[in-house]
Structure 1
């Protein structure tokens, strides 16, 4: 039995009401709920929120909101892990004990059910691993990064700045979509960003952080180009 947890706080300083603001044709959180439902992997999909408005919309799209998130877990400095663990513990005490849990971000409109399935399968087939989460590659070698310094620029990695791209190791970053883990692993002190985790590599065109207005605009354009067009063709039978 598996549990999905979607953390969705009511407040957002940079993009007010971000989790339920309309993205293309529906509230942003709806995409995560629908992908989790479509995957067929979860006995329960729980949204952890401190907002009645978020809770109402989450229920409208098929998620459960069995509790309102406590105040001490609702400020903007609390990390995701305590929020996820609170939901897991609530589930164990009041519903069932899941074997695997998946934290899914509410700001992941590009989330595809196939990658959720891939993450769970990879974790189930790797008894020496504790977590599996989405990653993607940087579009440019991080070793050739520069920083602005005293009105000019300076290489962040001087030893690598003149090397050819093909001679530099490819770097990856957290894609910010989903984080599978066994219940035991989540409730332990095992860090997710470690050798205990399996990377599920996503194509870059299905990844976009949404933290600023510029991110939002870019994400909508990407969605319409890569995901919306695919969905329209599917509906049309093309």
Structure 2
């Protein structure tokens, strides 16, 4: 069986109440819940939260909230790995069953697509891996990245690449911050996601947007509206 866990704590700082702030007509978390349900990948869709309002909205949109997340897993220092380990343990404790695969689906992933969730599950089923997660390419070669030193002048992180043509540099990928399929034991053991035991679901850059600041939020709304993904 397959379990979806959507982490959604109440204490977001940079965008207050981010997980339930309205995005294109519905609470942000609703987009993740609806994608999980529409995918038909999951036997259960659970939300892990410490917040009653988030819990009520999650249930309204079709998810289950069988427990309230404890305070020590709801502060600024709790990691996704901590939260996923706890939710997986709670599932076994409350149901007496162990899922075969567990997917961490972020509450702030309005761009997540049903077919991408399905691809992730198939990768996990077909390969001997711990995780399959969404990723996309950097739009600019990271080998030519620059930084400002203490004097405010420019330095390259990798100056040996100054004269290398962009097309000759290896393409780099980054986590898209949408979903992470994993085998249950990997979550229980908190195995690292970025390892040789992982594969990626390749996403186009147009389907990826971090939503950590108000500027990010505005960009996400513009992109979402242009793509008409709803």
Same fold (TM over 0.5): yes
Q: Would you say the 8 A contact 2:85–2:189 is kept in 1?
A: no
1:123-202 aligned at under 5 Å gives the runs 123-126=124-127, 128-149=128-149, 150-202=151-203
Asked if residue 59 in structure 1 is aligned to residue 59 in structure 2, the reply is yes
TM-score, normalised with respect to structure 2: 0.97
Q: How many residues align?
A: 228
> What's the CA shift string for 1:32-68, capped at 9, x where partnerless?
0000000001111000000001001111110000110
Distance of 2:4 and 2:85 partners within structure 1: 12
Show CA shifts across 1:149-207 (max 9, x none).
21221111101123111010000000000000111221124211100001111100000
Report the Cα distance in structure 2 between the residues aligned to 1:105 and 1:52, rounded to whole angstroms: 18
Q: Secondary structure at the match of 2:32?
A: helix
Do the aligned partners of residues 28 and 222 (structure 1) sit closer, same or farther apart at CA in structure 2, a change above 3 Å counting?
same
For structure 1, the 5+ residue unaligned runs are: 232-238
Task: Report matched runs for 1:1-238 at 5 Å.
Answer: 1-95=1-95, 96-126=97-127, 128-149=128-149, 150-226=151-227, 228=228, 230-231=229-230
Q: Which runs of 5+ in 2 are unaligned?
A: none
Stretches of 4+ aligned residues off by more than 2 angstroms: none
- RMSD across aligned positions (CA): 1.0
